[in-house]
A and B are shown apart, each in its own frame.
Chain A
Amino acid sequence: MALLSTPRASRSAGAERGTAWRWVLLPLLLLGPFLLWPVGMILWRGVAPEGTFSLDVVESVAGDRYYWERLGFTAGQAALSTVLAVALGLPAAWVFAQVRFPLRGVLRAIVTVPFVLPTIVVALAFERLLGPVGWAARALDGVGMAMPQVEGTLFAILVAHVFYNVAVVIRVVGGVWANLDPRTIEAAQMLGAGRVRRFTSVTLPLIAPAVLSASALVFVFCFSSFGTVLLLGGGNPDLDTLEVVIYRLATRLVDLPAASVIAMLQIGTTLLVLLVYARLQHRIARPVSQQPHRPRRLRDLAWSQRVFVALVLLVIVGFVVTPMAALVEGALTVGNDGAVRLDNFARLFADTGNISFIPPVRALQWSLTFAGGAMLIAAVVGLAAGMAVARGRGLLATLTDGFLMLPLAVPAVTLGFGYLVTFNREPFDLRGSPWLLLAAHALLGYPFVMRSVLGPARALDPMLVQAARVLGASRPRAWLRITLPMISRGVFVGAAFAFAISIGEFGATLLLQRAEFATVPVAIYEALGKPGDANLGAALAMATVLMAVAAAAFLLIERVRYREVGEF
């Protein structure tokens, strides 16, 4: 019964304390030139646009009401999205954490897939579902009602945000909820607490840090929203988030100093929220249960509870599956007068660049290449980062944690923009180089590897390593033979995320891409920009393929599941 949080365990872990710094070196190699430096350059561009320090641009931006409005809107929609995601995700978290039902593992994986889907795929899917000729419209038409305009409304964006992020709530909160000591709840029961009182007096306070932690993450993701807004916003300027503003300033208006100031604002806000998140994580990190807790079977529940479970599953799975189904339906029927045919898919392979500017097969090859490379880099760097934080103690660990999670604070467009203003002169003129894009993808994916590794790395009993060393293993060998195998699952799961995220990456890619190495999301975006059913069909077909690849990669590697101890 090794209690990993007892003073004894941490005393014997003290010997490992000094090794944290060795692990930080590798992540620094990636973060230094490809994150810190670009962020520094952004800052420099904002406060020294002409080369000398001047706050003119900052003042002019601060004085422009438009930017304050954008900030307010971005924060507001992120907060609203968070509330909705938590409202939907909390009951689902309970169901997945505490109840055993058939296909539990499969459903749980399905519900997590939205998180790794490309923004462009999601946008298209919702368009097929809620658009003027989508499923909803057709259904309402059947009962003689008109479909209200959804594209270009806040509603569309909120729905898409919740679609993405409900998985975060389910996994983060669910992980903690599943590990709650059932004896604590039973003790409350024996002291006279009925079901409601048990929840409010015991369960809720104990999962509260996890809920807040998940909320912080969801807020950050929604605050940094780009693709969703760009595509579902329908050009409505009232819906522009800060990332979209940066994009427009950088590419359309080419006002790089102003873009820099907004980028700093973006980074600053997300950094603040992430600091809160990091503090909360430490409250959850201690293992709360000493006993493997078996979720209850359906037949052990009261009838009302069973109905509740069925309802939650219906809503959640329906909510997640319906848009994806609409997308597939669109890919099969657009351009065929409603008949189901594989023409759109066939055309993808036949197209060698004559019809579209970017041949789909080439685009897919590039997507897979980038994803594979990004996954490998992210896996190695994320592993090192996870080890660095796991081996550190106290304040140093918190700081290292926050520092190594920095990429989360620098969203895709901001990062891409940073690269544009950094690597644009000799000897670092990497404009138009695929390596920049690879670095961006790796950076965006590696925090997920780190978080997935951190849980198991922290939970690993240091006595196991000491036992190995006493039996004659050197430090590197002990790490290779004992530590690595035990945290390898974390690496795999994180790598799955990194792969899927890279496959679907849109924001940075849009800024850094070139036709020679264009990826599928870019190809889709391009196809959407052209008129005609053939192009729409091609876009839908590519989106379907992309969705299948992202989901498949994620689901396959997710089969190597492990018991979550505060992942994410």
Chain B
Amino acid sequence: MATLTIDGLQRAYPRDGFALRGVSFDVPDGHLAALIGPSGAGKTSLLRLIAGLDRPDAGQISLGDRDVTQVPAHRRGIGLMFQELALFPHMNVHENVAFGLRMARWRRRARNERVAELLELVGLGAYAGRAVDQLSGGERQRVALARVLAPRPEVLLLDEPLGAIDEERKRWLRSELRDVLRAVGTTALVVSHDLRDAIAIADDVVLMSDGHVLQYGPLSVMSRFPLTAEAASMLGYVTLLQGDVDRGRVRERGVGEIGVPLDAGLTGLMRVMAHPSTMLAVPDGRHLGSGLSGVVVASRPDGPVPLLDIVVGTRHVEARWEWDLDAPRIGTVVEIAVRPDTLRFYGTAPAVAPVDDLAERDGALEDLLARDDEDARPNA
């Protein structure tokens, strides 16, 4: 077990017209971190660099205090679970899981015990002798997981471990994966394009976009305080309003206006974002928190609760209607009610700012935390 530290990693991929720039973050010992980003953000490329399957142009990778940047992949002590699983087709389940142990020269008895232990852990106790091509997709996933865990890697990398699973199964598999990873306690970095994986599995989250890290840190902190609009968007926030700040209010024509908190301290163009989990649609005229109204254009049931598609200005916003359980008719004007302390205000230039200085960012985060706790105290 060790802390994984990535410092200033750079790698250009000229043939793909893409580059990883100044990637820095760390995953503390024993933590589970999720690496989130859209496809093309460079997540898999980064994973391969950390694993040692590729060499960076610059930068450093460390496990604890051990610099492994120049260490060949097979001696790094890092486990990698491939998106494609890459099980050995000519070996059965037992042999697949035992492979890493054989490479590490474990004696036979210890090997067999360890393999049995891991197969039990992933729920495949009786499958040791099975041929790999006779397994279902989910079973193969679990063999791949057992295989990568067997040699007790210091750090574990998982590339889209829930990639090819259908939605139903995913929900259940997420918690299974989390339980297994917590039981083993290894430092782990899970790559996913799906935020829900991160929320279900991870303690920390690393946001990546277009070859660099936007922000990283504990999920609980980042969910509440994304530092940039892009980060907020990746964490599920939606834009309510975008316009110039004038006398303490952000105004957008055709949409409305919202009061800017005093300490936002910015003038000029500003974007106001909110998270759907804190937004509700309410009858017009209630002035319950955002002052923004819009027109209902569609509605669909989310269980017993109607989920409304509301057009605010030119943007579509989704909000639940819990006022009563009769969905308002299409064309009705409704108001978006938001918890005011969950509104986030972002200056819109520059939208993409590589975060380089860890200390500075940590400091900014702490300030925000302290400030918000103060605001939250008087009246909730």
Contacts and interface: CB of A to CB of B under 8 A. Distances in A.
- Do the two shown chains form a genuine complex with each other? yes
Interface of A: 181, 183-184, 186-194, 197, 201-202, 205-206, 288, 290-291
A181 B74 contact: no
Contact of A192 (B53, B74, B87): B74
B88 interface: yes
B231 interface: no
A183 B53 CA distance: 10
Contacts of B127: none
Contacts of B346: none
| 9 closest Cβ pairs, A-B complex | A192-B103, A191-B100, A183-B86, A187-B86, A190-B80, A205-B90, A184-B86, A189-B73, A189-B74
A184 B53 CA distance: 13
A186 B103 contact: no
A152 to B, nearest CB: 45
B74 A194 contact: yes
B82 A183 contact: yes
A186 B53 contact: yes
Interface in B64-94: 72-75, 78-80, 82, 84, 86-90
Contacts of A190: 51, 53, 73-74, 78-80, 148
Contacts of A206: 89-90
Contacts of A186: 53, 73, 80, 82, 86
A192 B75 contact: yes
Contacts of B72: 194
Contacts of A291: 84
A178 B86 CA distance: 16
B74 A193 contact: yes
A288 B89 contact: yes
Dominant SS at the A interface? helix
B225 interface: no
Interface of B: 51, 53, 72-75, 78-80, 82, 84, 86-90, 99-100, 103-104, 147-148, 151
A13 to B, nearest CB: 18
A188 B148 CA distance: 10
Contacts of B84: 181, 183, 290-291
Contacts of A181: 84, 86
Contacts of B87: 184, 187
Contact of B53 (A189, A191, A193): A189
Given A184-B89, A186-B53, A187-B88, A193 B82 contact: no
A288 B378 CA distance: 65
B77 to A, nearest CB: 9
A187 B75 CA distance: 13
B19 to A, nearest CB: 18
A336 B103 CA distance: 66
Given A186-B82, A190-B79, A192-B151, A197 B88 contact: no
29 contacts: A181-B84, A181-B86, A183-B82, A184-B86, A184-B88, A184-B89, A186-B80, A186-B82, A186-B86, A187-B80, A187-B82, A187-B87, A187-B88, A188-B99, A189-B53, A189-B73, A189-B74, A190-B51, A190-B53, A190-B148, A191-B79, A191-B151, A192-B100, A192-B103, A193-B99, A197-B103, A202-B88, A288-B89, A290-B84
